[in-house]
A = this chain, B = another copy of it.
Amino acid sequence: ATLPEAVLQQAQAELLDWHGIGASIMEISHRGKHFTEVIAAAEADLRELLAIPNHYKVLFLQGGATLQFSQIPMNLLAGRSADYVITGSWSKKAYEVAGKIGKVRLAVDAASGLPDVSKLETNAPDTGNSGTFDDTAAYLHLCTNETIHGVEIFEVEQALHRLAPPAVPLVADMSSHILSRPIDVSRYGLIYAGAQKNIGPSGMTLVIIREDLLGHTPANVPALLDYQVQADNDSMLNTPTTFSIYMARLVFKWLKAQGGLSAIETINKEKSALVYAAIDGSGGFYKNSVDKHCRSRMNVPFNLPTPELETQFWQEADRAGFMGLKGHKSVGGIRASLYNALPLQGAQALVDFMNDFAFRHNKAGLIRSTQPTR
């Protein structure tokens, strides 16, 4: 996670004495008026940023998106089956975990031919494992941005809305790109996201749920994991992760000051365009194999001609101050993450480093020695 400098500075300034009350925000009771003001302000700003309709509840929970992988089927299956779309590692995990709770069905498996989820648009019935949708499903689950594979759903999202049975609520894991651009919340039954990409430090999980999906939870589900109970208790059935919610409140305020989600989308488009241009313009030195229409604006995975060069790349980058560029262990390579808090200059600096690195190592003939023709 990267946090906006201004947010960190405010948190630092008021860490020992929040708004003159003589105590840290970490020390005060979550039931007292000060913290309830913080959580209410966080919700109000989030509702404004995402234009969340009134018939949706906003919950600030714990356990990360991974706990949601279980909690969603616990609450929504109610003895029925759910459809899952796999577009990468995270949606695959969500599918596997849900299978321990109840009946789930693989509706579309784009993972085998990653990242070609574009087939969905025109040819849904023939895509992947089954590619047909169950119009009696409790819900249809998808992950709208896959961090490891760098696949973001744009047009396909529209396609899903056209192709999926209208009565089946869409459930979306937006952990890694929520708040990076405007979305139409009303198209979804449930949206969830771990905080630690665009919301704030880890420890808080956001759930936005349409009210008609509440109240169908079987009695054997623990109250803490029941969305209805959490909604009835304003996300405070037990002590919430107060500091993470406070930080989220600062991030939401910062986003509003940036001009909201349309403004941040413009910057995110510029940032990712810079990096993809550096890749595509490198004469094959850098390579990203994701179809252009679903290239993620948040996570840009790419490869270099050899694993040795990749190691050299992220090690040199680390020394130059670009942290966390090593790709996920399951796929290797390099991954640049361009979350909201990374300013345009940060992306530009990375691109300068990439160009310089390519110039130095292309000149040395390393590409020719391993991949003779391009």
Query: Which residues of A are at the interface with B, using a C-beta cutoff of 8 A?
Result: 1-3, 5, 8-9, 11-12, 15-16, 21-24, 26-30, 32, 62-67, 69-70, 97, 100-101, 194, 196, 200-204, 219-225, 237-244, 247, 321, 323-324
Q: Is B28 touching A3 in the complex (CB atoms < 8 A)?
A: no
- When distances are taken between beta carbons in the complex, the residues of chain B under 8 Å from A321 are 22
CB distance from A57 to the nearest CB of B (A): 20
Query: How long is the Cα–Cα vector from A306 to B237 in the complex, in angstroms?
Result: 30
Q: Is B23 touching A323 in the complex (CB atoms < 8 A)?
A: yes
- When distances are taken between beta carbons in the complex, the residues of chain B under 8 Å from A100 are 219-223
Please name the 4 residue pairs, one residue from A and one from B, whose CB atoms are nearest each other, closest first. Answer: A203-B241, A66-B238, A26-B201, A70-B222
Query: How long is the Cα–Cα vector from A105 to B22 in the complex, in angstroms?
Result: 45
CB distance from A40 to the nearest CB of B (A): 18
Q: Is B32 touching A222 in the complex (CB atoms < 8 A)?
A: no
Copies of this chain in its oligomeric complex: 2
**Among A101, A220, A243, which residue has the most Cβ atoms of chain B within 10 A?**
A243
CB distance from A360 to the nearest CB of B (A): 24
- When distances are taken between beta carbons in the complex, the residues of chain B under 8 Å from A194 are 238-239
Query: How long is the Cα–Cα vector from A237 to B239 in the complex, in angstroms?
Result: 23
CB-CB under 8 A for A222 and B3, given A16-B8, A239-B194? no
Query: How long is the Cα–Cα vector from A225 to B66 in the complex, in angstroms?
Result: 10
CB-CB under 8 A for A26 and B12, given A62-B203, A203-B243, A244-B243? no
**Could you say which of B65, B222, B324 contacts A29, with CB atoms under 8 Å apart?**
B324
Query: How long is the Cα–Cα vector from A203 to B221 in the complex, in angstroms?
Result: 21
CB distance from A9 to the nearest CB of B (A): 7
- When distances are taken between beta carbons in the complex, the residues of chain B under 8 Å from A240 are 202-203
Q: Is B16 touching A12 in the complex (CB atoms < 8 A)?
A: yes
Q: Is A242 touching B324 in the complex (CB atoms < 8 A)?
A: no
Q: Is A97 touching B222 in the complex (CB atoms < 8 A)?
A: yes
Q: Is B64 touching A64 in the complex (CB atoms < 8 A)?
A: no
- When distances are taken between beta carbons in the complex, the residues of chain B under 8 Å from A64 are 62, 224, 238-239
Q: Is A323 touching B28 in the complex (CB atoms < 8 A)?
A: yes
CB distance from A19 to the nearest CB of B (A): 13
CB distance from A358 to the nearest CB of B (A): 25
Q: Is B66 touching A196 in the complex (CB atoms < 8 A)?
A: no
CB distance from A323 to the nearest CB of B (A): 6
Q: Is B70 touching A196 in the complex (CB atoms < 8 A)?
A: no
Q: Is B203 touching A242 in the complex (CB atoms < 8 A)?
A: yes
CB-CB under 8 A for A63 and B97, given A3-B27, A243-B202? no
- When distances are taken between beta carbons in the complex, the residues of chain B under 8 Å from A23 are 2, 323
Can you sample 22 A-B contacts with CB below 8 Å? A1-B26, A1-B27, A3-B27, A8-B16, A22-B323, A26-B202, A26-B247, A29-B324, A62-B64, A63-B63, A66-B237, A66-B238, A69-B222, A70-B224, A97-B222, A97-B223, A100-B219, A101-B222, A201-B242, A202-B242, A241-B244, A243-B244
- When distances are taken between beta carbons in the complex, the residues of chain B under 8 Å from A27 are 1-3
CB-CB under 8 A for A63 and B62, given A16-B9, A203-B241, A244-B203? yes
Query: How long is the Cα–Cα vector from A295 to B295 in the complex, in angstroms?
Result: 62
CB distance from A53 to the nearest CB of B (A): 29
